[in-house]
Amino acid sequence: MSFSSFGLSEPILRAIEESGYTKPTPIQLKAIPAVLSGKDVMAAAQTGTGKTAGFTLPLLQHLAGGPKVKGNHIRALVLMPTRELAVQVEQSVATYGKHLSLKSGVVYGGVKINPQMMKLRGGVDLLVATPGRLLDLSSRNAVKFSQLETLVLDEADRMLDMGFIDDIRKILALLPKKRQNLLFSATFSDDIRKLTDGLLKSPLQIEVNPRNSAAKSVKQWVYEVDKSKKSALLSHLVRNNSWEQVLVFTRTKKGADQLVQHLKSDNLSAVAIHGDKSQGVRTRVLSAFKANKVRILVATDIAARGLDINELPHVINFDLPKVPEDYIHRIGRTGRAGSQGEGISLVSADEVKLLSAIETLIRQTLVREVETGFIPTHNVPLTRQMKVRPKKPKKPKQRR
Ligand code: AMP
């Protein structure tokens, strides 16, 4: 089935073709007709499945056929949990809508509000926003909702995890009653279901991956390793396998910074991305990583959520996440849109309980590898690898 069979207009089909997409992904096959029908939609889909185009393409089609937007008004609102995600979604909107004469914009906190107020003055057809900044703009009368036709809540589970429920409820109270609601979430917890019950009217339900299952295209395994040896093992794995683009997750910001220091002292280029970094730094770091100028990106869960990095080959869990669902989000960064990927977890003795919670969630027992043997295809012993590094005088331990 091709994109042309959805009845999308020529300018949208042209933009899709220019993006290099030849056929719709499974979520797009279901979401595009559902959103075009005008009904409410509730979709279980992880990042990396192509869900952004799944709601953006039909939304653009709908907006292109409607009335002109008035000053300070918006016609469609996409709520996102983080600045990075909001920027990425707006970039997709701009890409797919480049042959249409619609106005799109993005607003998020942590930066000056005035340029955003200026942008809204002329009206915006599709606005992507984080909840706090949107409320701020609304309280200044910079954004008005009486023309609003569609609301999209993307990454709804993460919004609730991040404590946005009150902001979301405040925003819902400002919107016209008659509107189309689209809700996307990787997981459907009881809290999400509570939210959807009050929000969605007889929604069309879409599910592409079985609930709570990790992406099938990702090869996953675990190294059982002493906590103190995790950094050395990571350096070894990156070097020995010649990995050029590696996303590493740590649980804390401090942990991310410490790991970056270790990797740098080991002559591996690495940078951290987390909530303490300014927006400018985060944007620069992400572009450098995407352009292969930085080999290792070390991220915390919140900072990394939804990073749009195509076909990222390796994701490493330096620490296991406290929330098992985050494991699924983390490995969702690899094996995207059908490409093969590897998700590797470095698990120390104190993380065994977390590992078993993850395995219960994904209904899968992950293959264990031991630190000394690594994986059969990469059997250069760690000890040999470490000996050739002159800058590592500490711990010349024998591991066999
Ligand atoms: P998303 O799940 O929306 O974050 O999308 C994941 C990635 O898949 C993005 O980099 C998109 O550019 C890409 N993508 C979306 N739709 C398609 C498609 N039909 N064919 C190939 N790649 C796609």
- Averaged pLDDT for residues 261-273: 94
Ligand 1 neighbourhood includes 155 CB (under 6 angstroms): no
At 63, is the secondary structure helix, strand, or coil?
helix
Which band of pLDDT confidence, cut at 50, 70 and 90, is reported for residue 386?
Answer: very low
* Ligand 1 atom 1 nearest Cα: 50
Greater confidence (385 vs 256) lies with 256
Q: How far is CA 4 from CA 10, 14, 16, 25, 53, in A?
A: 9, 10, 10, 14, 14
* Residue 215 confidence (pLDDT): 55
- Averaged pLDDT for residues 301-327: 79
Residues 143-182 have pLDDT tens digits of 999 999 999 999 998 898 888 999 999 999 999 999 999 9
User: With pLDDT > 70 as the criterion, what percentage of the chain qualifies?
Assistant: 87
- Averaged pLDDT for residues 169-197: 91
CA of 90 to the centre of ligand 1 (A): 14
Ligand 1 neighbourhood includes 51 CB (under 6 angstroms): yes
Ligand 1 neighbourhood includes 48 CB (under 6 angstroms): yes
* Residue 312 confidence (pLDDT): 79
* Residue 330 confidence (pLDDT): 84
Q: Partners of 127 in the beta sheet? A: 77, 105
Choose the residue to mutate in 21, 49, 206 for probing ligand 1, maximizing ligand atoms within 8 Å of C-beta.
21
DSSP string, 258-299: HHHHHHHHTT--EEEE-TTS-HHHHHHHHHHHHTTSSSEEEE
Q: What share of the chain is helix, strand, coil (3-state, %, to 5)?
A: 45, 20, 40
Ligand 1 neighbourhood includes 167 CB (under 6 angstroms): no
Rounded CA separation 2/221 (Å): 36
Has residue 376 got a pLDDT over 90? no
Ligand 1 neighbourhood includes 251 CB (under 6 angstroms): no
Every domain of the chain and the residues it spans: 3-207, 218-375
Which band of pLDDT confidence, cut at 50, 70 and 90, is reported for residue 268?
Answer: very high
Domain 218-375 fold is Rossmann fold (3.40.50)
- Nearest alpha carbon to residue 231 among 378, 392, 381: 392
- Nearest alpha carbon to residue 221 among 343, 334, 362: 343
Rounded CA separation 137/362 (Å): 40
CA of 102 to the centre of ligand 1 (A): 22
Q: Any idea which of 7-21, 203-217, 269-283, 379-393 has the lowest mean pLDDT?
A: 379-393
DSSP string, 141-192: TS-B-TT--EEEE-SHHHHHHTT-HHHHHHHHHHS-SS-EEEEEES---HHH
Domains 3-207 and 218-375 share a fold: yes
Greater confidence (126 vs 189) lies with 126
CA of 199 to the centre of ligand 1 (A): 27
Q: Any idea which of 45-54, 123-132, 182-191, 327-336 has the lowest mean pLDDT?
A: 327-336
Q: What is the CATH number of domain 3-207?
A: 3.40.50.300
Rounded CA separation 68/168 (Å): 27
Ligand 1 nearest-atom number relative to CA 310: 10
Ligand 1 neighbourhood includes 52 CB (under 6 angstroms): yes
Task: Tally the residues of the chain.
Answer: 400
At 366, is the secondary structure helix, strand, or coil?
coil
Ligand 1 neighbourhood includes 24 CB (under 6 angstroms): yes
Q: Any idea which of 66-80, 108-122, 179-193, 211-225 has the lowest mean pLDDT?
A: 211-225
Which band of pLDDT confidence, cut at 50, 70 and 90, is reported for residue 378?
Answer: very low
Q: Please, what is the average pLDDT of the chain?
A: 86
Ligand 1 nearest-atom number relative to CA 51: 3
Residues 34-77 have pLDDT tens digits of 999 999 999 988 777 889 999 999 999 999 999 999 999 999 99
User: Chain-centre distance of CA 190, in angstroms?
Assistant: 22
Ligand 1 neighbourhood includes 332 CB (under 6 angstroms): no
* Ligand 1 atom 15 nearest Cα: 50
* Residue 192 confidence (pLDDT): 86
Rounded CA separation 94/52 (Å): 12
Ligand 1 neighbourhood includes 49 CB (under 6 angstroms): yes
Ligand 1 nearest-atom number relative to CA 306: 4
* Residue 111 confidence (pLDDT): 94
* Ligand 1 atom 19 nearest Cα: 24
* Residue 369 confidence (pLDDT): 78
Ligand 1 neighbourhood includes 310 CB (under 6 angstroms): yes
